[in-house]
């Protein structure tokens, strides 16, 4: 007997391989998937703009990368001793407006240069709820703890999402013909506005994503359904009863890898985990640190020799230890 409803996922017509460039962008669940990809040495940019939850803000970030937009210090906003870009998360915030604009522009320039080599864009929508900055009329990617009076709240409609993303995907594919676009809806619940409102929000996202997949030759991965329908138990949630537990996130990643990675790529995951686990390890007191670092560097060099497709991913995480 089966005590779960298994979510059927259609086989993918394309696969992700080591050495190919992947971006994961969107809600905090994009971090969950992206970090597991990075641990297995897939060459991935994990939420470069920080967590962005609504489709409009994610589109703004991608449009900046497409256009190579240049931000000015005058566009930055001060809050609680830091200067912020309203389009992005606090990961790009700095102590001065000039430093923040410089950090944002450096990232945008880097992404713009990388776009023509991008193989897979993974986008995770979290919520349709948005905050419009009344001083600019723009939807904020992050409110940065500014006064609530500065913003007007509403929900994006299905048509708004579909139209904006249809218009966005065309220039993306012009810059990178053949780009594979993978859309998913985050299973993380946004209960701050009530569980009923969260269900309505997820429903709008699911309908919008379904339409985008039909219109724009995008692919859907059912992360939301895997947690909500297949796992469907509070033991698969973290202590906050909102985010998936590590076990659930691992399971969703495994289902993702079965669909979008070849058997040969998945075989290399164990090697990747062996190296990244060593990098996260802190030698205990009395341990020969130099010996540990040298053996880790030797492992990295051996992996590059045997699997050249891992070279760029390893170089990004271990630049000083590779000969």
What tens digit of pLDDT does each residue of 22-34 get?
Answer: 999 999 999 999 9
pLDDT band at 254 (very low <50, low <70, confident <90, very high): very high
Provide the pLDDT for residue 288: 59
Contacts of residue 68, defined as CB under 8 A and 6 or more positions apart, other chains included, come to: 108, 109, 112
Mean pLDDT of the residues in the chain: 93
Provide the pLDDT for residue 95: 98
Helix axes 55-67, 158-175, angle to 10 degrees: 20
271 pLDDT above the threshold of 50: yes
pLDDT band at 127 (very low <50, low <70, confident <90, very high): very high
Whole-model pTM? 0.93
Rounded to 5°, the CA angle 176-178-119 comes to 70
Indicate the burial class of 301 (C-beta count within 10 angstroms; 0-12, 13-18, 19 or more): middle
285 pLDDT above the threshold of 70: no
Q: At 87, list the tokens.
A: 């389009």
pLDDT band at 3 (very low <50, low <70, confident <90, very high): confident
Among 69-78, 109-118, 121-130, 240-249, whose mean pLDDT is lowest? 240-249
Highest mean pLDDT among 162-166, 188-192, 301-305: 162-166
Among 35-49, 62-76, 231-245, whose mean pLDDT is lowest? 231-245
Provide the pLDDT for residue 294: 82
Mean pLDDT of 201-214: 98
Domains located in the chain, CATH noted: 21-66+110-267 (3.40.50.1110)
């Amino acid at each position: 007997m089966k005590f779960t409803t298994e979510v059927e996922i259609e086989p993918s017509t394309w696969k992700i391989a080591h050495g190919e460039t992947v971006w994961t962008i969107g809600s905090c669940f994009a971090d969950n998937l992206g970090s597991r990809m990075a641990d297995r040495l897939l060459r991935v940019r994990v939420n470069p703009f920080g967590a962005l939850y609504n489709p409009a803000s994610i589109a703004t970030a991608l449009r900046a990368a497409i256009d190579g937009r240049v931000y000015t210090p005058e566009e930055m906003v001060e809050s609680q001793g830091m200067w912020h870009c309203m389009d992005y998360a606090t990961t790009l915030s700095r102590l001065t407006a000039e430093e923040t604009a410089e950090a944002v522009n450096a990232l945008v320039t880097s992404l713009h240069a990388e776009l023509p080599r991008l193989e897979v864009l993974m986008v995770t929508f979290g919520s349709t709820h948005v905050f419009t900055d009344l001083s600019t009329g723009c939807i904020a990617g992050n409110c940065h703890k500014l006064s609530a009076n500065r913003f007007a709240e509403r929900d994006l409609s299905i048509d708004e999402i579909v139209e904006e993303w249809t218009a966005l995907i065309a220039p993306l594919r012009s810059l990178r013909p053949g780009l594979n676009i993978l859309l998913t809806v985050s299973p993380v619940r946004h209960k701050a506005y009530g569980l009923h409102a969260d269900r309505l929000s997820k429903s709008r996202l699911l309908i919008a994503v379904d339409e985008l997949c039909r219109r724009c030759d995008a692919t859907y991965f059912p992360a939301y359904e895997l947690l909500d329908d297949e796992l469907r138990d509070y033991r698969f949630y973290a202590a906050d009863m909102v985010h998936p537990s590590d076990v659930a996130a691992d399971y969703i990643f495994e289902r993702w890898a079965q669909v979008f990675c070849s058997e040969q790529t998945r075989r290399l995951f164990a090697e990747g985990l062996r190296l990244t686990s060593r990098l996260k390890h802190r030698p205990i007191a009395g341990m020969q640190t130099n010996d540990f670092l040298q053996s880790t560097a030797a492992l990295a060099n051996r992996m590059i020799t045997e699997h050249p497709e891992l070279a760029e991913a390893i170089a990004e995480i271990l630049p000083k230890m590779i000969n």
